[in-house]
């Protein structure tokens, strides 16, 4: 039976259920224990699991990421919460040079089962240093997986899969989605890593997105329907590994592709998708692949500049209209 719960509650359920099953799983990060989490994701977990498994850390991301890597190499399964992925830049050395490479450098002898999770991307007027989307940064690294869910149901099922995975997993959440609600079953379920989801079926154009930009994609699809354009909307859910075949099969049907992402345009997720689909599905395209991204600039504080910099429904609709009336 499904209940309606908040995104933060879905994450908490996923972590708590896995911790009850496996004593090697623990959570560490800034304010996760005594304060119940900066976004209240870990609320009540200290009371249930105690201070040896719900661990407050200093404001030292490089340090506690290193502790987690060492713990993972010795049989534990850490979940590391970063208050924001912007702060996790400080932990990049441990993620890039140790966690992602240990399996290869040890000849398959040492795995590194860690979940690094926390708030990612823009969240309104937070200024340039707290508004970066990092999916493409980490998706560039062999040896890790990158997950970026858009709703409570996917978040819970994917986080459980991530905790059980033997590779390092970057779990990208959104600060503005923690309070959003959705239906989540009471019974246990797992969503496989690496499988995209068709959130809306359509026949005229494929729109691909992930994380909170799915609101833009679905909003655009609803507007396009009013003028008789049927858009198929695909939620990537996992950025690495990327489910190319779901996108390709959709493009075979619709013959058009538009990608919506929050990241900067240079070397983004949309760039990789566009390359792969034109390489493997060029003959199915009736119009050039188009994308809408964040502006190629730091995100400023002023609300009008935030609105101007990020993808929105009207611009996405306009882009789809352009590809609908092009000819190969």
Note the CATH number of domain 197-324: 3.40.50.920
pLDDT of residue 325: 86
Phi and psi torsions of 278, nearest 5°: -70, -30
pLDDT of residue 2: 82
Note the CATH number of domain 2-185: 3.40.50.970
Which among 14, 307, 257, 30 has a CA at the least distance from the CA of 159? 14
The arithmetic mean of pLDDT across residues 150-156, rounded, is: 98
Q: What is the DSSP letter of 328?
A: -
3 beta partners: 184
The arithmetic mean of pLDDT across residues 36-51, rounded, is: 97
Structure tokens of 96?
A: 């890039």
Computed over every residue of the chain, the mean pLDDT equals 96
Q: Other C-beta atoms within 10 Å of 5: how many?
A: 18
Calpha distance 143→167 (Å, rounded): 7
pLDDT of residue 328: 42
Share of the chain above pLDDT 90, in %: 97
Q: Other C-beta atoms within 10 Å of 227: how many?
A: 10
The arithmetic mean of pLDDT across residues 16-25, rounded, is: 98
Calpha distance 246→310 (Å, rounded): 26
Summarize pLDDT for 257-289 with one digit per residue, the tens.
Answer: 999 999 999 999 999 999 999 999 999 999 999
Per-residue confidence band for 185, with pLDDT thresholds at 50, 70 and 90: very high
The arithmetic mean of pLDDT across residues 299-315, rounded, is: 94
Q: How many residues does the chain have?
A: 328
* 226 or 1, greater pLDDT: 226
The arithmetic mean of pLDDT across residues 140-164, rounded, is: 98
The arithmetic mean of pLDDT across residues 121-128, rounded, is: 90
Summarize pLDDT for 54-82 with one digit per residue, the tens.
Answer: 999 999 999 999 999 999 999 999 999 99
Per-residue confidence band for 124, with pLDDT thresholds at 50, 70 and 90: confident
- Domains 2-185 and 197-324 fall in the same CATH topology: yes
Q: What angle do CA 187, 175, 56 make, to 5 degrees?
A: 80
Share of the chain above pLDDT 70, in %: 99
Calpha distance 110→113 (Å, rounded): 10
Report pTM.
Answer: 0.96
- Domain boundaries defined on the chain: 2-185, 197-324
Q: Other C-beta atoms within 10 Å of 70: how many?
A: 14
pLDDT of residue 320: 97
In whole angstroms, how far apart are CA 82 and each of 92, 145, 146, 259, 300? 12, 17, 15, 28, 22
Supply the residues annotated as catalytic: 61, 130
Is the confidence at residue 327, as pLDDT, over 80?
no
């Amino acid at each position: 039976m499904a209940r309606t719960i908040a995104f933060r509650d879905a994450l908490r359920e996923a972590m708590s259920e896995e911790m009850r099953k496996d004593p090697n799983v623990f959570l560490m990060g800034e304010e996760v224990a005594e304060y119940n989490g900066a976004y209240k994701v870990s609320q009540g977990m200290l009371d249930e699991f105690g201070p040896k498994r719900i661990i407050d850390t200093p404001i030292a991301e490089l340090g506690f990421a290193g502790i987690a890597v060492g713990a993972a190499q010795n049989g534990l399964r850490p979940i590391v919460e970063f208050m924001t992925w912007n702060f996790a830049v400080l932990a990049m050395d441990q993620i890039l040079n140790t966690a992602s490479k240990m399996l290869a450098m040890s000849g398959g002898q040492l795995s590194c089962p860690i979940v690094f999770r926390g708030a990612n991307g823009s969240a309104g007027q937070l200024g340039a240093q707290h508004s970066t989307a990092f999916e493409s940064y980490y998706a560039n690294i062999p040896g890790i997986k990158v997950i970026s869910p858009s709703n409570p149901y996917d978040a819970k099922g994917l986080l459980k899969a991530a905790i059980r995975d033997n590779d390092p997993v970057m779990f990208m959440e959104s600060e503005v989605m923690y309070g959003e609600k959705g239906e989540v079953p009471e019974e246990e379920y797992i969503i496989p890593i690496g499988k995209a989801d068709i959130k809306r079926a359509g026949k005229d154009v494929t729109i691909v997105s992930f994380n909170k930009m799915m609101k833009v994609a679905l909003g655009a699809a609803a507007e396009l329907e009013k003028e008789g354009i049927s858009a198929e909307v695909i939620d990537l859910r996992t950025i690495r590994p990327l489910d190319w075949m779901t996108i390709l099969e959709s493009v075979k049907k619709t013959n058009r592709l538009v990608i919506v992402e929050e990241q900067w345009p240079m070397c983004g997720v949309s760039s990789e998708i566009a390359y792969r689909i034109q390489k493997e599905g060029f003959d199915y395209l009736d119009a050039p692949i188009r994308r809408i991204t964040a502006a190629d600039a730091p995100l400023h504080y002023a609300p009008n500049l935030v609105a101007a910099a990020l993808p929105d429904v009207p611009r996405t609709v306009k882009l789809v209209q352009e590809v609908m009336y092009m000819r190969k």
